Structure 1
Amino acid sequence: MMITSWRKRRAAKRAGKEQQRNGNGEMELTIPRDFRCPISLDLMSDPVTLSSGITYDRESIEKWIEAGNFTCPLTNQAMTSLEPIPNHVIRRKIQDWCVENRSHGIERIPTPRVPISSIEVSEILSNINVASKNQDGEVCRALVAKLKSLAKESERNKRCIATNGAASVLSKAFATFTTVSSSFDENTTVLEETLSTLITMLPLDRDAKSYLGSVTAMHCLIWFLSSGDLSRRRNAVLALKELVSSMEDQRKTLNLLSELECAIEALFKLIKNPICPSSKKASLTIIYHTITSSSTSSSTRQKQVTKLVNLGIVPLLIETLVDAERAMCEKALGVLEGIVDSEQGREMALDNPLTMPVLVKKILRVSNTATEFSVAILHKLCKKEQREDGGVLVEALQVGAFQKLLLLLQLGCVEETKERVSELLKILNLHRNKVECVDPMDNFRDLKRPF
């Protein structure tokens, strides 16, 4: 009897029974071992075989290879080729198994698309070069659209396209079609398609920025920025942000932005009525560089600040700061610091009842960068206070600025910020007798302390 029972168990094991009972006595489905990826142990959706003969799920093995591994994970053999081969036999078996077990809630895995190869990408990019050289906008647009469609299919395709120099080719094509005629209207379709595809390749490499930074290309970007099409405006501001963030292209880009009055107004509109968070952040970044960079003259910077203040940038920034997430908060504070350098900007900030509460609240709550910007703005606002009644200084004390700054000094900060904090504490201390004593812990109840 014991031998018979053992033989039955062995036969069941060899047959690879796909069902077993769980703790409640119900039948549970077990995925056959050959259908599982040796890395993730999950059912393979796109089985591929390496040169070692072992089959893995494409996503898992590609992550392994991208991490710098050149051996088979299971056998540890050196791979003679890093190009996985689709295993159609296993895939069809998995699909059949899924169909057979539909009653268990198993859905049939779709037949995966074959990823694009480097050779195919190179061929498409070569054809785009030829089409742009021949000024054939229709053919170029079709090729670029095909490239964008392939990039959308999978992250693997997108990486393959990007690593084969697509950004440089697309930037060159964009720049070429901006010089074809005196009006961008004639090539709007191909320019929009090219820019839209190029944005998916961010961040751009040096060559791509070089082409995109040409005078005609930047004029086109600024024209797009001022147009009514939302997608066009979003793509244009993201491209300009790439150029402004690069020191090599910053001077040329900022000078051109400063020359065209419509550019600053278009950026302001993207902050006031943002298309998406990324476009708003990009607009704030460009404005920050425009009003603070030494790449432009002080008179030009002052002119831009005046224009922004007249447009209503100060209340807009304060409103943004009320509940902004970290990145947005840092950018808004950076722009506000540049704005309060001007007398008109300071007056607008001081007239806003939310300025002091918001600035004090941001200290030690968001990030070191946000804290440094907040202290710098407070320093500029309080240092200029001349009224005998204390004015803004009393207001700062009422919202807990003294306690916050004292805590910041105790916790430590960079030297420049420390000097500003020390000076602020001396200025504020002269007016402390004008403010009722408050419990300092009330101001720090929700503070995330690093100690």
Structure 2
Amino acid sequence: MVRDDLYITVPSFFRCPISLDVMKSPVSLSTGVTYDRASIQRWLDSGNNTCPATMQVLQTKEFVPNRTLQRLIQIWSDSIHHHRPESPDESIHPVLSQDQVKDIVKVTDIKKEDFLSNLSMIVSFAKESDENKTFLAKLDGFVSMLVEILSNVKDVNILERVIRVLDLMLNKIDDQQQLSNLMLKSCDQDCLNSLLLVLQKQESLDARIDSLKILEFIAIDAESKLKIAEKEGLLSEILKSVSWGSDRRLIDAGLSCLIAISMPKRVKLKLINQKIITEMKKLITDPNSTVSVSEKALKVLEMLCSTKQGRSEICCDSGLAQAIVQKMLKVSGAATEHAVTILWSLCYLFRDQRAQEAVTSGNGLTKILLLMQSNCSPAVRQMSADLLKIFRVNYKSCLSSYDTKTTHIMPF
């Protein structure tokens, strides 16, 4: 007999590599990787010309529907609807119309017993389509209502659903400043208290990821970044999310949040004092780290290099400096740029002897030479040239000794 709980496990290849949600309209790129149509279309419309999963440059931006996978997803979805036991929290809600949503918002009272059910139906409505997300984002008073709930309710079940709706709407909210002001305006910062509560409870991985995305979204200026970072207990919870061994999606969201809030020097010093550099080393040396995690961990280290304390900690660990050297040619163009910027800052801008020795012992000069033969950006090429000057290498004469047929070498 087949157990019911097997039906609620989502096969990994049913999830879109970008949104991580079950694909509604799977389409395949020329690289053979399949994405949900809406997600990959947004990626391409943003000016990208690579496959997000493999970072291969696309020969064509056309994609074709993956009908076989769509049928498999439909069969799986039908089996869930048929076999999955219903419960008050997991029952399948009917999809509301826009008029019905308006009516719910008008009469919503956060003290009513049926509020949780209404909120669950709004979550289902938002997940249905981009059009519905846009409708909610523009619905008069709806965003303010969600912020009010975050400020006044401490029921984790309700908070998780409010946070879910907000996360679904983020890309559709036109006035980012207004949402930031609404959530951070109170002296007690009740919204931050609620986000902290969800992060601390750790009852739902998705809710924690959504909370981190919201924090990233509202960290739009120095004042908001400081308010988030200096909220007691919040920075520690964000750091826990990027701890080695955590869920990869959680690590990715946590790193994005850290990058968003880490511009002020006070925040960087707090992170350094809480041993973030040690965690970043674990992530960039982990062979199982995703491209995105490696890129963002290097970006965090690049930002910390602007402080004396950050440079000192990185240079004190020769293993970390050598790991950064290794990442120059092995991950992606973005990772290369972050790695070179870190080394340029340490070795050229601040002339740290320990960092220079780590680059030399890690065969860094050869990698820099290979990098300059690649199709790297002008900024990376200039920083590489500066690094070679520091090591007193005449790179033009060195390159002339190479067989010209090796100029096709590409680092990634």
Q: Which moved more, 1:338-347 or 1:412-421?
A: 412-421
Task: Determine which of 387, 395, 398 is the counterpart of 2:361.
Answer: 398
Match of residue 266 from structure 1: 237
Q: Tell whether the 8 Å contact from 1:125 to 1:166 is kept in structure 2 after alignment.
A: no
Query: Partner residue of 2:146?
Result: 174
Residue 330 (structure 1) aligned with residue 300 (structure 2): no
Aligned partner (choices 123, 140, 145) of residue 99 of structure 2: 123
Task: Say if 1:375 and 1:417, in contact at 8 Å, map to a contact too.
Answer: yes
Aligned-partner residue type, residue 176 of structure 1 = E
1:196 alignment partner, one of 149, 164, 180: 164
Alignment partner, residue 139 of structure 1: 114
1:306 maps to 2:269: yes
Query: Which of 315, 322, 331 pairs up with 1:366?
Result: 331
The CA distance in 1 between the partners of 2:93 and 2:321, in whole Å, is 55
Maintained 8 Å contact 2:343/2:355: no
CA distance in 1, matches of 2:81, 2:159: 32
Whole-angstrom CA distance in 2 between matches of 1:135 and 1:110 = 35
Shift of 1:375: 0.7
Counterparts of 2:222 and 2:161, CA distance in 1 = 27
Letter in 1 for 2:212: V
Is the partner of 1:272 in helix, strand or coil?
coil
Q: Aligned in 2, Cα 1:112/1:258: closer, same or farther, shift over 3 Å?
A: closer
Alignment of 1:21-420 (within 5 A): 120-132=96-108, 134-149=109-124, 157-159=128-130, 161-165=132-136, 171-179=143-151, 181=152, 184-185=153-154, 188-201=156-169, 203-206=171-174, 210-211=178-179, 213-215=181-183, 219-227=189-197, 228-230=200-202, 231=204, 232-244=207-219, 249-272=220-243, 276-292=247-263, 301-322=264-285, 323=287, 324-383=289-348, 384-385=350-351, 387=353, 391-420=354-383
Q: Decide whether the 8 Å contact of 2:150 with 2:191 is kept in 1.
A: no
The verdict on how the C-alpha distance between 1:234 and 1:273 changes in structure 2, with shifts beyond 3 A counting, is farther
Shift of 1:260: 2.3
What CA deviation, in whole Å up to 9, does each residue of 1:286-319 have, x standing for no partner?
Answer: 2223233xxxxxxxx2222222111111111011
For 1:354, give the aligned amino acid.
G
2:69 maps to none
Query: Structure 1 unaligned runs (5+)?
Result: 1-57, 68-105, 293-300, 433-439
Please give the secondary structure, in 1, of the residue aligned with 2:318.
coil
The one-letter code matched in structure 2 to 1:194 is V
Q: CA offset at residue 283 of structure 1?
A: 2.1
Q: What CA distance in whole angstroms lies between the structure 2 residues aligned with 1:375 and 1:333?
A: 10
Q: Distance in 1 between matches of 2:194 and 2:375?
A: 46
Q: State the alpha-carbon separation in 1 of the partners of residues 246 and 238 from structure 2.
A: 11
User: Percent identical across equivalent pairs?
Assistant: 19
Residues 231-268 of structure 1 show CA distances to partners (whole Å, capped at 9, x for unaligned) of: 35333112112333xxxx44553142244243322211
User: 1-side partners of 2:226 and 2:298: how far apart?
Assistant: 23
Shift of 1:137: 4.8
Contact 1:171 1:209 in 2 (8 A): no
Cα deviation, 1:194-241, whole Å, max 9, x if unaligned, reads 213333445342258734651358934432443321235333112112
Distance 1:121 1:422, change over 3 A: same
Distance 1:449 1:364, change over 3 A: closer
Q: How far apart in 1 are the matches of 2:136 and 2:176?
A: 9
- What is the Cα deviation at residue 336 of structure 1? 0.2
After superposition, the Cα gap between the structure-2 partners of 1:250 and 1:278, relative to the gap in structure 1 and judged at 3 Å, is farther
In the TM superposition, residue 377 of structure 1 has moved relative to its aligned partner by 0.5
- In structure 2, give the amino acid aligned to 1:172: S
Q: How many aligned residue pairs are there?
A: 312
Report deviation, 1:272: 1.6
Distance 1:283 1:362, change over 3 A: same
Q: CA deviation at 1:428?
A: 1.8
Q: Which deviations, in whole Å up to 9, do the C-alpha atoms of 1:25-50 show, x marking residues without a partner?
A: xxxxxxxxxxxxxxxxxxxxxxxxxx
Opposite residue 114 of structure 2, the aligned amino acid is V
Answer yes or no: is the 8 Å Cα contact 2:304–2:310 preserved in 1.
yes
For 1:429, what is the secondary structure of its paired residue? Answer: coil
Q: Is the 8 A contact 2:147 2:182 kept in 1?
A: yes
2:241 and 2:250 in contact (8 A); partners too: yes
AA of the residue aligned to 1:215: M
* Whole-Å separation in 2 of the counterparts to 1:167 and 1:238: 20
Q: Which has the larger radius of gyration?
A: 1
Question: What is the root-mean-square deviation of aligned Cα atoms in Å?
Answer: 4.0
Q: 1:420: Cα distance to partner?
A: 1.6
Structure 1 residues 305 and 211, CA, compared in 2 at 3 Å: closer, same or farther?
A: closer
In structure 1, the residue corresponding to 2:97 is in which secondary structure? Answer: helix
**Residue 424 of structure 1: CA displacement?**
0.6
